[in-house]
Chain A
Amino acid sequence: MKTVFTTGEAAEICKVSQQTIIRCFDSGRLKGFRVPGSRFRRIPRDALMAFMKDNGIPPDQLNNGKSKILVVDDDPEIVELFVDVLERDGRFEVKTASTGYDAGILTNEFRPDLIILDYMLPDVNGNVVCKTIRSNEEYNGTKIIIVSGVVNQDEIDELRKSGADDFVKKPFNIDKLIERIGELLAV
């Protein structure tokens, strides 16, 4: 995945002129760096995304127009079900993990817009994963939906405190789930 953009590439993604990008870069509104030993400007992916978000520029061009969703569950059939459901919708790019550890690595690498997180994972519980992600400001924009078979109001309240955006009980209604994801990502 492309992580650093030139001012020309950024202008194309943002559908503005290169001059505008350069002006914003120079004024500091668009974060970036110069290539050492030269005057060439370079813009990291995160900085570009932040810039686009700040200025209300649709991010479609950045991810081929798709929201990135990470599905974390130790049950492969559940994972497969989520993948089928989300890909069938067409608006999402999906990656999967089966442990909390994998989930951490993939979050850092894939930078998902939304994580569907099973509460009962083989290594750590969903609320721990949730807390870890929330403790990093880099992922402030990442939405988290926790999925569990056990429904207990106290536990749900606890999960919300840990930073989960929503809770879905297994088994779930597919249509309602997609609807909720759409709301959270505002796509």
Chain B
Amino acid sequence: MPDPVSPTSSTSRVGLILQQLDQLPTLPAIAMRVLHVASSDTSSVKDVCALIETDPALTTRILQLVHRADSGISGEVTSIERAIVMLGFESVRCAVLAVSVFATFEPASAASSTFSRQDFWKHCIATGCAAELIAQQLKTNWGRSAVVEPATAFTAGLLHDVGKIALDAAIPKSFARVVEATDMLRGNIADVERNVVGIDHTVVGKRLAEKWQLPAAMRDAIWLHGQLPQALPASVRNDRLVNIITLADILVREQHLGYSGNYTFPIPRQILLDALGLLPQQLDDICAKLVDAIESRARTLGLGSTEAQDLYRQALQQAHQELSRVTDQLASRNRKLSMRAKYFEALAAFQSELRPDAPPGVVTHAIGQTAAAVLETAVVAVFSMPPGVGYAEVTLVDRTGERQQSHLIEMSPPVESSADAVMPERPVPGDGPVLAVGPNLEWLIQAFSPRLAGTGRYWICLEADGICIGGVVWGAEAGEAQRLSGQIQELSALTGGWSLALRTCQIRDEARALSEQLADANRRLQSVQSEVVRTRMLTTVAEMAAGAAHEMNNPLAVISGRSQLLASTLSDPRDKRSAELIFDKSQKLSDIITELMHFAKPQPPQIAPTPVSAIFDAAIEQAKGHSPIADRQIEVRVGDVPMADVDAGQVGSALAEIVLNAIQATDPAKGRITLTASFDAFSHRVVLSVTDDGCGMDDHVLRHAFDPFFSARTAGRRQGMGLPKALRWIESSGGSIRLESRTGAGTCAIVVLPGARQAKDNPVLRASQGS
């Protein structure tokens, strides 16, 4: 870009340029004279004719020009005077003007090497011709109201870029820079002129027009051509002429006729057509006639060396050159774009594969697919290696998109590792995106190399915070890095995306694992807490029971003692019986308190190997003592079960409570209770079950079955301490109870007890258990 020009230097330079313009040659006297003769002034016209005819060369040229311009009457025009009669003074005046201007800026006097005057004049003539044709068409369309004479349009078109030639003549070096810059930028020459010299050719042209005292309409066409019709100042008298010149200029440049030094078409054709009242078809006709018209005019003006075919050829050549230049640019841009498009497509495919909650396997697969696409290889291996873990997850991806299985490779060496096993170590990020596989990826290569193409092994490191968190490994022939060197930028961008996606899902995975661990810890904490609550409750019950035992037993002792004394003194049997009842019940109350204390603070268990059958026998015996068996069937099935390491008395009593519950839940006539024992060798535990076909329990009862004083029987309730006591006793022997029950379907109590430690290997104990 040209250096920006400061306002002061710009102003002074503009002044300098204008000064230079003053030194430009004036129009020949004859042209000046012609310009200032009014067509109505017949005597003056005659004077001018005479003046022209004094210059035979000029006369010939003008006659030729007039002749060509209006071929229909050409044969009759043989003198200037005749021409004026036939064509009107205006046409003659234009011809004089055109010829004079050309004479002023002789093609040979070109000062600039880059600015081709020859081609430039061709552009000017072409614009003049086009303007003339447009004006003719308008005249056909609109008749006399068309306002613009074709001859005037031609002259205006011819002179519309006179400012450029003036600049070239006045400041050839600066103007050469302008032309170069415009060529390079393929921009609007007026913008560059303003940037480089501080003034553009339209203003220069206006000044020149003023100096030459050209008619105002012509001056405006030179000054304002190229402007939008709507943007023209109100002071412009003949805006139609300006629009004709603008349209002609665009038309000629589109046809690549001559060289204007301008590359932009700022105004759409249609706007000008609308402004002028011209049809697109008419414009096409004008274009068709244009080349012939130019040829004849160019010849007339001394530029006639070019034939119509030449002009076409040159135009075509020029158009072709320009086209090929543009094509070259487009092609290189296209190559770049198509390569980028490949990456964009890959990126789009990659993103469509990803879900917000995609696990690492899905992400590595998506990475693998896009990698296979952009690297143009069939199979890639993608590995994910979250920071701080001892393994890598490797996904092999086929370009067909078929998802291969993911493999986990442990990084920490197993104890009995064979000598040749290669342990994965965390690779380190390299300099560029495309790296040759080094020894630190040997673990992956060893496992997957046969699946990869080519002989060379390459990889792209996916990193986060400077740590390798994964990578893409593929196979290719040597020189892969060279092949991809033109795509480094795109590959790096894609790699960044991959890394981000992989790290995100790794973090999500870590968070998921963490939340699972937390949930697990929470669960464990919860169960511990419920255990703590239960223990605290039992402690409270124990303290309460102990306090109650002391506080209540004294009054109870008095009640009990006094009732006994009473009973022994009373003679009436009914009174005696009442006193005895008081004694009994106070004793019963005392028993409840004692039981509560025992529940809260059980006796330490006396653990000893105990045969299961003995436990069952004791339990059934105790249960029978509380509730009659009646016709219920009790079946005991004890297989080959080792002894249990328990407190025989407590566990027996616990089982008795369970059997008692079973008895009370079943029908006395046909109830069925089954006691079984089995052995879980894995946990080394003895599993007892007591199953009944009784009334079962609903959820509410089941949930509270082990709560002290809870009883399902609202009427005739027992103490509600049976199962709670059983649980305490079994727990103190290191066992556990689980209840399974459904209303109407019976209940199954499963009691798990620790197996005797030596029982398994001690035949004596086994034998005694069997007996």
A residues adjacent to B (C-beta < 8 A): 75, 77-78, 81, 84-85, 88, 120, 148-153, 169-175
Tell me whether A174 and B557 are in contact in the complex, defined as CB-CB below 8 angstroms, given that A149-B549, A150-B550 are known contacts. no
The chain A residue with its CB closest to the CB of B554 is A75
Q: Is the CB of A84 within 8 A of B558?
A: no
Shortest distance from the beta carbon of A174 to any chain B beta carbon, whole Å: 4
Shortest distance from the beta carbon of A147 to any chain B beta carbon, whole Å: 8
A120 vs B551: C-alpha distance when bound (angstroms): 11
Q: Is the CB of B549 within 8 A of A150?
A: yes
A88 vs B568: C-alpha distance when bound (angstroms): 11
Q: Nearest 5 A-B pairs (CB), nearest first?
A: A149-B553, A171-B560, A170-B557, A171-B557, A81-B561
The chain A residue with its CB closest to the CB of B545 is A150
The answer, yes or no, to whether B86 is at the interface (CB within 8 Å) is no
The chain A residue with its CB closest to the CB of B562 is A81
Q: What are the residues of chain A within 8 A of B44 when measuring CB–CB?
A: none
A85 vs B561: C-alpha distance when bound (angstroms): 8
**Contact of B552 (CB < 8 Å), options: A75, A149, A151, A174:** A149
The chain B residue with its CB closest to the CB of A119 is B550
The answer, yes or no, to whether B174 is at the interface (CB within 8 Å) is no
**Contact of B553 (CB < 8 Å), options: A84, A152, A171, A175:** A171
Q: Is the CB of B565 within 8 A of A170?
A: no
Given contacts A149-B552, A150-B553, 20 further A-B contacts (CB under 8 A): A75-B558, A81-B558, A81-B565, A148-B553, A149-B549, A149-B550, A149-B554, A149-B556, A149-B557, A150-B550, A152-B597, A153-B603, A170-B553, A170-B557, A171-B553, A171-B556, A171-B561, A171-B586, A174-B564, A174-B565
Q: What are the residues of chain B within 8 A of A84 when measuring CB–CB?
A: 565
A172 vs B553: C-alpha distance when bound (angstroms): 10
Shortest distance from the beta carbon of B233 to any chain A beta carbon, whole Å: 119
The answer, yes or no, to whether B661 is at the interface (CB within 8 Å) is no
The answer, yes or no, to whether B594 is at the interface (CB within 8 Å) is yes
How many residues of chain B are within 8 Å of chain A by beta carbon?
24
Q: Which of B552-593 contact A (CB under 8 A)?
A: 552-554, 556-562, 564-565, 568, 586-587, 590
Q: Is the CB of A170 within 8 A of B564?
A: no
A149 vs B565: C-alpha distance when bound (angstroms): 20
Among B553, B556, B565, B601, the most chain A Cβ lie within 10 Å of the Cβ of B553
Tell me whether A120 and B603 are in contact in the complex, defined as CB-CB below 8 angstroms, given that A81-B558, A171-B560 are known contacts. no
Q: What are the residues of chain B within 8 A of A78 when measuring CB–CB?
A: 554, 557-558
Q: Is the CB of A81 within 8 A of B546?
A: no
Tell me whether A120 and B557 are in contact in the complex, defined as CB-CB below 8 angstroms, given that A88-B565, A151-B594 are known contacts. no
Shortest distance from the beta carbon of A153 to any chain B beta carbon, whole Å: 6
Among A148, A169, A174, the most chain B Cβ lie within 10 Å of the Cβ of A174
A119 vs B586: C-alpha distance when bound (angstroms): 21
A39 vs B594: C-alpha distance when bound (angstroms): 64
Q: What are the residues of chain B within 8 A of A75 when measuring CB–CB?
A: 554, 558
**Contact of B557 (CB < 8 Å), options: A150, A151, A152, A172:** A172
A27 vs B205: C-alpha distance when bound (angstroms): 172
The chain A residue with its CB closest to the CB of B604 is A154
Q: Is the CB of B565 within 8 A of A85?
A: yes
Shortest distance from the beta carbon of B146 to any chain A beta carbon, whole Å: 132
Tell me whether A170 and B603 are in contact in the complex, defined as CB-CB below 8 angstroms, given that A85-B561, A151-B594 are known contacts. no
Q: Is the CB of B565 within 8 A of A120?
A: no
Q: Is the CB of B565 within 8 A of A172?
A: no
28 CB < 8 A contacts A-B: A75-B554, A77-B558, A78-B558, A81-B557, A81-B558, A81-B561, A81-B565, A85-B565, A149-B549, A149-B550, A149-B552, A149-B557, A150-B549, A151-B549, A151-B597, A152-B601, A169-B553, A170-B553, A170-B556, A170-B590, A171-B557, A171-B559, A171-B587, A171-B590, A172-B557, A172-B561, A174-B564, A174-B565
A175 vs B568: C-alpha distance when bound (angstroms): 10
Among B561, B562, B587, the most chain A Cβ lie within 10 Å of the Cβ of B561
